[in-house]
Amino acid sequence: MTDFILETRGLTKEFKGFTAVSDVNLKVERGTIHALIGPNGAGKTTVFNLVTKFLPPTAGTIHFKGEDITHEAPAVTARRGFVRSFQISATFPHLTVMENVRIGLQRKLGTEFHFWKSEKSLNKLNDEAMALLEAVDLGSFAETVTAEMPYGRKRALEIATTLALEPDMMLLDEPTQGMGHEDIERVVELIRKVSANRTILMVEHNLSVVANLCDRITVLTRGSVLAEGTYAEVSKNPQVLEAYVGSDNMNDAHH
Amino acid sequence: MNAPVSFAESKLPLLLGALFVIGLIAPFAVYPTFLMKILCYALFACAFNLLLGFAGLLSFGHAAFLGTAGYVCGMMVRDVGVTPEVGILAGTVAAGLLGWLFGWLAIKRTGIYFAMITLALAQMVFFLAIQIKETGGEDGLQGVPRGHLFGLLDLSDNIAMYYLVFAIFCFGFFVIYRTIHSPFGQILKAIRENEPRAISLGYDVAKFKLIAFIISAALAGMAGATKTLVFQLASLSDVHWHASGEVVLMTLLGGLGTILGPVVGAATIVTLQTQMPDSVGSWVTVIMGVIFVICVLSFRRGIVGELQALIKRSGVN
């Protein structure tokens, strides 16, 4: 039997008479890289916000590792090892790169509410933080104030911070958006590297990234699932091709 | 690249040490009551800055904590007859509890709604203060004795009172400094910088905000209780929304999110308020308004913030 780490049943979200997500049954298999694609406004980010509990669903249930998490607070879901990123790079801009990663590591010390303790007590996390930064090629930036780094590096930092939580499942919202060619390659390699022993669900517009990175693809249009399968299967589906006419051209990805 | 930061940080203990010495000898050069007023408002502004500058929460109701603690301290000392340190402690605790209630209600919302909830709650406290008999309405709570510290040291002597106020200020300042530079403070800054991201890393941001709110309210209360003893009066103007607005002005003028900014801001505003009416009369409010507009338009980092930026620039070049 296939092991699904994340499963949604009849997931629906309505905003004042407009249905953003309608009856989505998403199943993400443990250990795979799963892509969520679709034209603009298809509801991809809404699905992300729903499964990570940042938005309450109108109907349907969400199961993570077999447990119903539909009515959980978002921070609680995150502590289960189910961690998301955001469309706009999610860093703490005025903290240093090292401090950013330490925020991710800090919770396991159990001192996050200790306002009477010196922040020097956090220095014991520095080695671990440095190792995470080295893993995403940011070792030399440790003391830099995050806001001063180029965009692609910020996305790498975001991934390092997420990895600090040792999540079982990561959600990446358009990890290559707004990037130049070289940055894209770097991030794709990074995602491949961190996907070992992990499940990744990602929203991605760049179809060549999807084609060479993702094991399974779910296509959303107007809030509903249009197709699901491997890239080869999905890219031949006439309905999918039709949905993409006038926006991204599915076939362009092969060139 | 990190040189300017460590430069400013390495010089900070030196600067604080120098200010401490100045604080110790100041009452022999300047009128102590004036200094005590500055210190009370400085502590009030530092407490406010902990919330706005480091947690990103704009409270528009901090007068409620300043004023309530003043009333509680005044009643305890004058009517119950406790010693002054117990009165200050009682005021601080009362403000902390009120902060718990305000915070619990207000942090359910963010931004302008958060500010409006704190303002509305503070206005209720003002209404109560003016209506109920015990607080003396418009007259406030008059004739509060300064008493003897620990039943021993006579505080009616202005120099003795000054050193008590100075000690209280230093204690409050240290609590704030420690909170900002603690594991808790790190998460608070993370929430200020990017709240959704802090949630996604598994932090219950509401709890962090509430704790920050309570610490801020309690310390604002400590300032209010101390002020009541200094002036021997718990005044209605301390719960008025003017006081909530003034503390915003002090903090912005001095430098939001800097550790010394609120102190500089409070000293500047209190000095202007005390010295100017002699020469310009009621124009003082207009002049304050102009200062506020100039500050927001042309040096948004405040006095201390601009100075820091200047040092940083000269350090890079």
- Residue B226, judged by CB atoms within 10 A of its CB (0-12, 13-18, 19+), counts as buried
- Residues in B closer than 8 angstroms to A154, CB to CB, are none
Mean pLDDT, chain A, as a whole number? 87
CB contact under 8 A, B183 and A119: yes
Which range has the top average pLDDT, A108-117, B38-47, B307-316? B38-47
Predicted confidence at residue B316, as pLDDT, reads: 58
- Percent of chain A past pLDDT 70, that is, above it, reads 95
Give mean pLDDT, residues B95-101: 96
Determine, for residues B189 and A54 on separate chains, whether the beta-carbon distance falls below 8 Å: no
Residue B183, pLDDT > 50, answer: yes
Please report the pLDDT score of residue B9 as a whole number.
60
Quick one: pLDDT at residue B1?
34
Whether pLDDT at B8 is above 60: no
Question: Can you tell me the distance from the alpha carbon of B232 to that of B222, in angstroms, rounded to the nearest whole number?
Answer: 15
- Please determine, for residue B5, whether its predicted confidence score (pLDDT) is greater than 50: no
The answer to whether residue A144 neighbours chain B at the CB level (below 8 Å) is yes
How high is the pLDDT of residue B236?
87
Q: B181 at the A interface (CB within 8 A)?
A: yes
A32 sits in which H/E element = none
- Tens digit of each residue's pLDDT (9 = 90 or more) over B147-156: 778 877 877 8
Q: State whether residue B194 sits within 8 Å of chain A by CB.
A: yes
Average pLDDT value over all residues in chain B: 88
ipTM: 0.82
H or E element at residue B19: helix B3-25
- pLDDT for residue A64: 93
Q: Report CB contact under 8 Å: A54, B183.
A: no
- Residue B7 pLDDT more than 60? no
Residues A19-39 as b or e (16 or more Cβ within 10 Å = b): ebbbebebbbeebbbbbbbbb
| Secondary element (H or E) of residue A166 | none
What are the chain A neighbours of B309 within 8 Å (beta carbons)?
none
Partners of B181 on chain A (C-beta within 8 Å) are 118-119
Judge whether residue B217 has pLDDT over 50.
Answer: yes
Which domains does chain B show, CATH number per domain? Answer: 7-316 (1.10.3470)
Of residues B299 and B60, which shows the higher confidence score?
A: B60
Report the sign of the C-alpha dihedral through residues B255, B260, B262, B263, in that order: negative
Query: Residue A169 forms beta bridges with which residues?
Result: A82, A199
CB of A45 within 8 Å of a chain B CB? The answer is no
pLDDT, position B126: 93
CB atoms A91 and B182 under 8 Å: no
Does B208 sit within 8 Å of A115, measured CB to CB?
A: no
pLDDT at residue B112 above 80? yes
Kindly report the number of other CB atoms within 10 A of residue A17's CB atom.
5
Q: What is the mean pLDDT of residues A218-222?
A: 90
**How far is it, in rounded angstroms, from Cα A100 to Cα A235?**
39
Report, as an integer, the average pLDDT of B174-197.
93
Per-residue pLDDT band at A186 (split at 50, 70, 90): confident
Q: Is A88 part of the contact surface with chain B (CB cutoff 8 Å)?
A: no
pLDDT at B38 over 80: yes
Residue whose token pair is 């400590």: B222
Quick check: A92 and B193 CB within 8 A? yes
Q: How many residues are given for chain A?
A: 255
Q: Does A18 touch chain B (CB under 8 A)?
A: no
> Between chains, do A119 and B181 touch, taking CB under 8 Å as contact?
yes
- The confidence score (pLDDT) of residue B6 equals 45
**Three-state SS across A36-60?**
EECCCCCCHHHHHHHHCCCCCCCEE
So what's the pLDDT on residue B145? 86
Mean pLDDT over B74-102 rounds to 93
Q: Is A49 on the interface with B (CB under 8 A)?
A: no
Whether the per-residue pLDDT at A255 is higher than 60: the answer is no
Interchain CB distance below 8 Å, B2 and A96 = yes
Residue of A nearest to B193 (CA): A92
pLDDT of B147 reads 79
Which domains are seen in chain A, by residue range? 1-80+197-255 (3.40.50.300), 82-166 (3.40.50.300)
Mutate which: A109, A112, A159, vs B, most B CBs within 10 A: A112
Q: Is A148 on the interface with B (CB under 8 A)?
A: yes
Q: Give the model confidence (pLDDT) of A109-125 as tens digits.
A: 888 888 888 888 888 89
User: What gap in Å lies between CA B202 and CA A120, rounded to an integer?
Assistant: 22
Which pLDDT tens digit goes with each residue over A195-208?
888 999 999 888 88
Instruction: For residue A54, give the nearest of B196, B202, B205 by CB distance.
Output: B196
pLDDT in tens, A143-185: 999 999 888 888 889 888 998 998 999 999 888 887 778 778 8
pLDDT of the residue at A111: 86
> For an interface test with A, which of B180, B197, B312 has the most A Cβ atoms less than 10 Å from its Cβ?
B197
Candidates A102, A115, A132, partner chain B, best to mutate (most B CBs within 10 A): A115
Q: Where are the alpha helices (DSSP H) in B58-148?
A: 63-75, 84-106, 111-131
DSSP annotation string for A102-153: HHHHHGGGT-TT-TTS-GGGGGGGHHHHHHHHHHTT-GGGTTSBGGGS-HHH
Cβ neighbors of B310 (< 8 A, separation 6 or more) are none
Whether pLDDT at A248 is above 80: no
Q: Which of A46-60, A121-135, A166-180, B273-287 has the lowest mean pLDDT?
A: B273-287
- Is A110 in CB contact (< 8 Å) with chain B? no
